[in-house]
Structure formats: C-alpha cells, structure tokens
Structure 1
Amino acid sequence: MAVHNDKGKEAENLAKDWLIGRGYEFVEANYRSGHAEIDLIFKHKGIMVFVEVKFRSGTGFGYAEEFVDGTKRKLLIKAADNFVYERDWHNDIRFDIIGVYRDQNGNVNFKQFEDAFY
C-alpha cells in the first residue's frame, strides 16, 4: 500500500476514535457504492452523519475542506443516497468533513466542518 494510503487510513482511524470520544455512534467505515467511497458513517443525535476525512501535514497547501470539490461531493451524495435506501433510513442526514492535521512535532489536531455541504 502506498504511503499516502497508509496515512489516509491512519487519519480515518484517528478521526473515528475522536468522534466516538465526542459521543458519535460508529456505523460503518469505507462504504462503497459504484465509484464513490464514504470514509466513515456515524449516528449522532438522531442524524446519520457521512464523514469525509482529509489528512494534512500542515496548511501550506490548503485546508482539508478545500480538497472536497464538486465532483467528490456529487459522488459522496450519490453513495449516501444508496446507503440511505439500503438501510431504509427515514431521518435526517448530514455531510461532515474532518480535517486531521499533524504538526512538525507529531501532534494531531482535528477540525470538524459540520453540515459541510449537501
């Protein structure tokens, strides 16, 4: 597996643990539908939350939320629609982006963008 894939999986695991610590109920990881993949899916306060995780080793090239473009959003929405249909979910949903940032000292910080798009 490529180094960037390893870092991506590590970031997903860190984000998963961080959200669980914040009271989110884990549902599924790496849900695939066609060409789309949803990194993490949680329930929180009666809402199904679809999470896109982005790892950054700094902000010199931009922030996490800047790397979820229109094409990616459309794929995520399509996959979420399929998930909702498969699970017969009739309550609210939302799309979050979690930025996982590691500084030069190895410290990890998180930034959550709730309801980032639809």
Structure 2
Amino acid sequence: MPVETTVDIGLEGEEYAVAYLRKSGFRIRCRNYRYRRAEIDIIAVEGSTLVVIEVKTRTGAFYEALSDSISRAKIRRLTRAADHYVRSIGSDLEVRFDVIQIVRHNGRYRLTHLRDAFYFFP
C-alpha cells in the first residue's frame, strides 16, 4: 500500500471542505489561486460576501489549535493574493477570511469552520 503524503492528505481535506461548503450554500469561484508566493485554497461566495478560505487538514496524530495554525506571514501573503484576485475580477464584494480545519482520525472526519478567522488592515 503506498504511503500517504502530506500533499495527499491536504488534497483530500480540500475536497472534503469543498463538499461541505457546497452543501452549506457557498458557490465555489476558484481553487488553489496563486499569486506570487501565496496560494489561496478556496475562494467562494456566500450571499454577497467573497470568502477566502484556508484549509488545514490534519491526521489524528497531529493537531494544533486553529489560532496557532496560520502565521502572520501567511496572513500577509493570503491578503495580498486576495487583493490581487479581487482587483483582477473587478469585484466590489465584501471580503471575509475563513479557516476550515479538518481532522481525520480512524477514517472519520471532524470539520471546524472558523468564520472571520482574521482581519487585515493594511
């Protein structure tokens, strides 16, 4: 049986997150949007809000609090990439940053969705 890599685990988590978001009424606009050194996992629309979503997938053997999972540098990169995306599509939607954490343990998933995970003021 092949060894599962962190990339495999991350992709699996993103698929699970997308299914959850669609079921929750979000419209997925873009996945894995790249700008410079940043990558936004999911960009979606909920109502009149553009939602930038960072997905963190962990196995049961590794767990960290959501508040510790994204560094200040990562937040800066995400906000720059989000700004670039918004400007490139000419959107005037309000932007929100969410984090979805998925923990997989013994073949079961636990999903935590943190809305307004952080704010960024340039």
- What TM-score, normalized to structure 2? 0.89
- 1:60–1:31 Cα change, 3 Å: closer
* 1:115 counterpart residue number: 116
- Percent sequence identity over aligned pairs: 33
Structure 1: runs of 5 or more not aligned: none
Q: 1:69 to 1:10 in 2, by over 3 A?
A: same
AA in 1 matched with 2:115: E
Between stretches 63-72 and 28-37, larger displacement belongs to 63-72
Whole-angstrom distance in 2 between the partners of 1:49 and 1:61: 24
Distance in structure 1 (CA, Å) of the matches to 2:27 and 2:41: 15
2:18 alignment counterpart: 16
CA contact (8 A) 2:99 2:113 kept: yes
Q: Take 1:19 and 1:63, find their aligned partners in 2: how far apart are those partners?
A: 21
Equivalent-residue separation in structure 1 for 2:86 and 2:112 (angstroms): 26
Distance 1:91 1:28 in 2: 15
1:78 aligns with 2:91: no
Root-mean-square deviation over aligned CA pairs: 1.4
Which residue does 1:7 correspond to in 2?
9
**Structure 2 alignment gaps of length 5 or more:** none
**How far did 1:79 drift?**
0.1
Partner of 1:58: 60
How many Å separate the matches in 2 of 1:41 and 1:61? Answer: 25
State the TM-score, normalizing by the size of structure 1.
0.92
Specify the alignment match of 1:47 in structure 2: 49
Give CA deviations for 1:12-46 in whole Å, capped at 9, x if unaligned.
11101111001100111000000000000100011
Which aligned runs of 4 or more in structure 1 are off by greater than 6 angstroms? none
Query: In the alignment, is the contact (CA less than 8 A) between 1:65 and 1:97 conserved in 2?
Result: no
